[in-house]
Amino acid sequence: MKTKNEHYWLKSGFLLLLQNMSFVLFGFAGFYLLVRILDKHSFGTWTLFMSTTTIAEMIRSGLIQNALIRFLSHSPEEEHDSILSASFFMSGAITLCCIILTVSSAEFLAKIWHSPELVQMFYVYSIAYILSGLLSQFHWMEQAHLSFLGVFITIFIKQSLFFFYVLVYYFLHYKIVLINLVYVQAISLVAGIVVEYFFVRKYLSFRFKIHLSWVKKLFHYGKFVFGTSVSGLVSSTVDQMMLGALLSPAATGAFNIAVRIMGLVEIPTNTMAVMVFPQSAKRMATGGHEAIKYLYEKSVGTVLALVVPCFLFLVLFPDLVVHVIAGNKYPETIPIIKVTVLYCLFVPYSRQFGTILDSIGRPKMNFVFVLMAAFLNISLNYLLIRRWGIMGAVYATLTASAITFVFMQIILRRQLKVNLINTFIYASRFYPEFFEKYTRPVLKKTTKMLREFVH
């Protein structure tokens, strides 16, 4: 008989895997069409726009998401009204600040990236940002109650609407105007809000009362997560932004194709990270550091086992992957892939590193570390892009990833006695354990059913 904890991991793991797959695959399918519809300059401009708006989204989620989930999970029910009120208040305030910042910097960004169409795109995005704030708030409330079905369905709807819009234009051979893509984003957000409301309405029956004490608690916990998230995102997108400023939007587009391909490899990593945070917060309260140590080593080992086959395929067939995904328009992406493929070996460790430190109440340490890593990445990118162009960005990011990986393991060793070798042990055990626990029972049942059918 399955325990409640096993049921959580199976059900939520399946939903989160579907969620991340739909997010990445719909996003990838849309990218697959856009890279063929748009010229190199327009595709690079869209990449720069998405990188910038993603940072704005991360500012809000970094300050609120983990703090809301943590405090709703640990606090008595009579405190939930104050916690939710504080989170809605903070979300509104952050949204207003980000809209002012985006609108005021739109012309500057359009100038340095040589893309005047960005000005109108950022103005329209302000409306979409308000809508995404409400949808995100609903998602966090559902996740705090260890539920993921509504999150999956709304993300599926939001992604599919955008994809089908691009698909229609692709088959009809119409030219896509970038501003229309922003309008479609806003419409899909409205659809997501309507659907998600039915999943969270039972949690919305709370009295709105703002207690400054809870606003301060959420802010002081979230400020380091916020700094960590934004610094990490800047670190991961600075190469594309610098390519746009120092070279051209077309160079950004070529590099972004490699980033998109690596995004497919990161599906298991993202799934495991979302699953681990609520569970690690609970395990910290019950099992202490030993339980967190096991959770880190086991989750990283599991992700490594899933990532290595993808890594080997990209190492052996980089030309094939680029031509199938982006066509013949971006041959300059092939040498980029040959180097960026090495990133995927570091990603499981880096993603779980931040998740674990946040869950054990060390967001400040995580923030300082990621801030230093971002500074290192920015510095290396600036120096190497000026010297080697696109490949300079590749070498800079890989070097920064390798250096930060070493320091991550030193910190985890001191904080939790994490053993790097254990991650490889769990990775090697994954497929035999999966076969014995899941595949063999299915094969037995299938064989038994076939025999009964024959007889």
Q: List pLDDT tens digits, range 292-350.
A: 787 788 878 888 887 888 888 888 888 888 888 887 888 888 888 888 888 878 888 88
Q: Which of 125, 129, 134 is nearest to 178 (CA)?
A: 125
Helix axes 4-37, 149-172, angle to 10 degrees: 20
pLDDT of amino acid 6: 47
Query: Cα separation of 250 and 42, whole Å?
Result: 8
For the CA atoms of 32, 36, 41, 42, what is the dihedral angle to 10 degrees? -70
Number of Cβ atoms within 10 Å of the Cβ of 126: 19
Residues of the chain with pLDDT under 70: 1-21, 24, 146, 206, 225, 228, 232, 266-288, 358-359, 438-439, 442, 452-455
For residue 72, how many C-alpha atoms fall within 13 Å in the half-sphere facing its CB? Answer: 22
> Could you tell me the two tokens for 439?
């595949």
Provide long-range contacts, Cβ within 8 A and 24+ apart, for 314-319. Answer: 314/261, 314/265, 314/341, 314/344, 315/341
What does the pLDDT read at residue 127? Answer: 92
**CA angle 252–183–201, rounded 5-degree value:** 115
Domain boundaries, the chain: 4-434
Kindly state the tokens that stand for 362.
Answer: 């060390």
CB 382 within 8 A of CB 262: no
Token pair of 399 as six digits = 């070097």
Do residues 246 and 385 touch, judged by C-beta distance below 8 A? yes
pLDDT in tens, 80-103: 788 888 888 998 999 999 999 999
| Element (DSSP H or E) covering residue 290 | helix 288-316
What local confidence, expressed as pLDDT, does residue 131 receive?
95
Radius of gyration of the chain from Cα atoms? 22
pLDDT of residue 215: 87
Report the pLDDT value the prediction gives residue 285, as an integer from 0 to 100: 47
Number of H helices, E strands in the chain: 17, 0
DSSP string covering 317-344: -HHHHHHHHHTTS-TTHHHHHHHHGGGG
